[in-house]
Amino acid sequence: MDTTLLTRRSSHRTRPALTVLGEMALTPARLHELCGPARHMAAMLVAAATQGPVFWIAPDWAADRLNPDGMVALVGPERFTFLSPRQPIDLLWCLEEVLRSGAVPLAVAELPDLPNLTQVRRLHLAAETGAAEGTGAPLGLILTPGEGGAPGVESRWHMTPAHTPGRLGWTLARRRARTLPPATWAVTRAKGGFALDPCKETGTPA
């Protein structure tokens, strides 16, 4: 039996979660999934809750790019290093290497397709290695298309716009978490940041 893996898995449970907004909290040294039409907004909220550099990995062929002018109200664009792999297979390779290095607190990868369970497990192990051998416990995020559904992720969050005339708003749903039930919140602009209010309906587990 490989006791090293058992030790790594148990160690991440004792690390305090990163509180992003209200009840949105992410366990460090693990891989989390963001999906839905406003997944980029969700990623910006996570980045704003961290300190230090962010590595953002996106396909070289992607038509849409993050706009620094839109980012600046949420998080400083100067914190971001953008990587643009030319091959689909290199997206996960880049994310794995960044997490394994433990050099940055947050690494994000925009994926055109869902990773399989083996790939997700490799990313978890890479993040655990980075936490043990790097300068901190890195947080891994994957942005997946549609409704998401990557197997084996630590948590899955779905975010969609819910704007009304004269008021910005979003709906955030926790669709998967190892120890918490599905839940849904309304996200609105508040003085000095954002507010998270519970909704009556719950997210759909996947």
pLDDT in tens, 42-64: 999 999 999 999 999 999 887 78
- Coil vs helix vs strand at 105: coil
Q: Which residue has the higher pLDDT, 7 or 114?
A: 114
Predicted pLDDT at 1: 35
Cα(184)–Cα(114) distance, rounded to whole angstroms?
A: 23
Tell how far CA 119 is from the center of its chain: 16
Cα(29)–Cα(27) distance, rounded to whole angstroms?
A: 7
Predicted pLDDT at 197: 87
pLDDT above 90: percentage of residues in the chain: 69
pLDDT in tens, 69-111: 889 889 999 999 999 999 989 999 999 999 999 999 999 999 9
pLDDT band at 200 (very low <50, low <70, confident <90, very high): low
Predicted pLDDT at 2: 38
Q: Give residue limits of the domains in the chain.
A: 28-154
CATH class of 28-154: alpha beta
The model's pTM is 0.88
Spatial CB neighbours of 4, under 8 Å, sequence gap ≥ 6: none
Helix 88-101 / helix 117-133 crossing angle, nearest 10 deg? 30
Across the chain, mean pLDDT equals: 88
Mean pLDDT of 146-153: 96
pLDDT over 50 at 11, yes or no: no
pLDDT in tens, 160-180: 999 989 888 999 999 999 889
